[in-house]
Amino acid sequence: MKPRVRMTLSRCLLLVGAFLLGTMCPSAKALRSLKVPRFYSRSGQSLKVSAKPPLDDSRTPPVNSNMQLPLSFEANRELAALGASSKKRVAFLLKVKEGKIEEYKELHKKVWPEMLEALRRNGWHNYSLFLRKDGLLFGYFETAESFQAALKGMAKEQVNGEWQALMAPYFEALGGARPDEKMLELEEVFHLD
């Protein structure tokens, strides 16, 4: 076959493959960018895509260079497994007493390393706290399962019991409960990736 014909046939096969596989090739612009074979490699929990093979290419084979798909089937499954869509976004509210706001902020500048490890171990990722001037506290984190599962895991941690006891005097309307038992979960009504 002539090179021009083979390239056209290759693009035709790519289009058919993309159609059968779903969203592998969402636009004509993406199609033009597929002239170079893609390679994937794992670095920690992220998946990197490049036109050059990694130094250790024994672990990361190139994609099928005949069809030149952007990623192999295995890499697409890995991307889906690592993607943010598999995580649940959680938001909650609490109310810090107005006279205790500065102390509360100071304590959170030096959270115990054991507490940070317990949070990570129990699925609290990308965790942030935001505090309004009147003491309204907004918390956000991402977890694999649910807010309830993340709280249940933390309830088993001794360091969490100690942290919650330390934090209890800083919050309003606990009624004898621990602060993490009074977190008011918010409903997600919109998300833009």
Residues with active-site annotation? 108
Buried b (16+ CB within 10 A) or exposed e, 98-120: eeebeebeeeeeeeeeebeebbe
SS3 letters across 17-74: HHHHHCCCCCCHHHHHHHHCCCEEEEECCEEEEECCCCCCCCCCCCCCCCCCCCCCHH
Retrieve residue 107's tokens.
């304590």
CA pair distance 143, 139, nearest whole angstrom: 13
Q: Are the CB atoms for 154 and 123 separated by under 8 Å?
A: no
**DSSP class of residue 177?**
S
Dist CA 74 CA 188 (whole Å)? 31
Residues 168, 94 contacting (CB under 8 angstroms): no
